[in-house]
Amino acid sequence: MEALVQKVTRKSKVNEIFKEYPETLRVFLRYNIPACCPLDTLEAEAEKRGIDADELLKEIHHIIGET
């Protein structure tokens, strides 16, 4: 049975991104974003840290091969 893979967006939850794409851990570590944040979206974590959410998303898309 195939897993449903959803496109990663600013509204994706960090822990769901990490669960589906463990290779994104290096991006989260670089920005001190805990990969286990169950309720926080990528956008919320970026905002908390003063990171441009679009740049963060771009890095994640590059790692997982999404455009």
Query: Which tens digits make up the pLDDT trace of 25-35?
Result: 999 999 999 98
What's the whole-number mean pLDDT along residues 47-66? 94
Confirm whether pTM is higher than 0.85: no
Decide: helix, strand or coil at residue 13: strand
User: What whole-number distance in Å separates Cα of residue 66 and Cα of residue 62?
Assistant: 6
Indicate the domain borders of the chain. 14-64
